[in-house]
Amino acid sequence: MDRTEMTDELIMAYADGELGESEARQVELAAAADPEVQRKLNRFTETAQRLRAEANDLPPVSDDLAQRVARMLDADGQQNEAGAEENVVAFKPKTWVRYWPSAMAASITLAVGLAAGVALAPSGNGPADAPIGVAALADPEISNVLSTLESGGSTVLTSGATLNVIASFMDANSVLCREFDYEALDGQSVVSVACQEGDDWRPKIAIASSAETPGTYAPASSLDALEAWLSSSGLSHPLSKEDERKALDTLAPEM
């Protein structure tokens, strides 16, 4: 082949200054010889120029967002200050410190007592009052739903709360775990992961989101924490529909 083929990509890369000298030379020669190449080159150049020209009109960042971010940066700055002088030096890689930013700490109830505490009993009488926060996980109906409902499904419990099953996971010891979201009538919502233990489902982590934003996202940072927890527990990859079905089918028969 005596001549590089003038693909659109190559012509564009020239327009964007992405080519080395010899390739660039080839495009220049081709453009001089072939009006079609020249036309394409103009198109690529002009699209970029017009985009860049309009790009200067950045949509403004709302005061609300600016303040949210300023608070996070403030909290972060204080954390750094307490520990070291290094926050003066830009971009200096620090040794990894595990900490929850204070904004996150405020928005999360990490249910540390769960492993020993609440078990999701498979049956029984519903609680008199709809429980709130992490205590909501004591609702005995949850267990039955987790043993049967497939991910993506949701159901309304006797308490009026909605249970959305988000995903299923299998941990390294082949224990089935399920991520779900429990929304009480008052907008309180708990995202939790519970794993099989005997006939019970035992919550391993629970994140209570505030009632201020019913029907919207849990605080951004709390979902983040959940992701981190999932991956650290070897539960990064949800089961497929079929695998989930199989896993649910093998559970103890309904009582």
Partner 1 sequence: MSDCFSKALTEKLPSLRRFALSLCRNGDIADDLVQITIERALRARSSFDPNSRIEAWLFRILKNAWIDMVRRNRVRGTELDVDDSPQIAGETQHAGDARLMFVSVMKAVDTLPLEQREVLLLVCVEELSYAEAADVLDVPKGTIMSRLSRARSALADRVGIK
Residues that bind partner 1 (CB under 8 A): 8-9, 12-13, 16, 18, 39, 42-44, 46-48, 50-52, 54-55, 58-62, 64-66, 68-70, 72-74, 76-78, 80-81, 87-96, 101, 103-104, 151-152, 154, 164, 166-167, 181, 217, 220-221, 223-224, 227
75 φ, ψ (degrees, to nearest 5) = -60, -40
In the complex with partner 1, the residue whose CB is nearer, 11 or 114, is: 11
Closest approach of Cβ 118 to partner 1, in Å? 24
Kindly list the distances between the CA atom of residue 255 and the CA atoms of 123, 124, 143, 199, 202, in Å, as whole numbers in the listed order.
8, 11, 12, 10, 18
User: Minimum Å distance from CB 249 to partner 1?
Assistant: 20
Residue 108 CB, nearest distance to partner 1 (Å)? 12
Q: How far is the CB of 71 from partner 1 (least distance, A)?
A: 10
Q: How far apart are CA 22 and CA 10, in angstroms?
A: 12
Question: Among 124, 229, 215, which Cα is nearest to 179's?
Answer: 229
Q: Which is nearer to partner 1, 87 or 155 (CB)?
A: 87
CA distances from 176 to 38, 76, 189 (A): 61, 37, 23
Query: In angstroms, rounded to a whole number, what is the distance separating the alpha carbons of residues 229 and 224?
Result: 9
How many C-beta atoms surround the C-beta of residue 206 within 10 A?
Answer: 24
Residue with smaller CB distance to partner 1, 100 or 199: 100
Indicate the residue among 147 and 151 with the shorter CB distance to partner 1: 151
Nearer to partner 1, 100 or 138 (CB): 100
Closest separation in Å from C-beta 154 to partner 1: 8
Closest CA to 168 of 86, 235, 88, 68: 235
Residue reference for tokens 């971010």: 69
Q: How far is the CB of 19 from partner 1 (least distance, A)?
A: 10
Nearest to partner 1 of 211, 228 (CB atom): 228
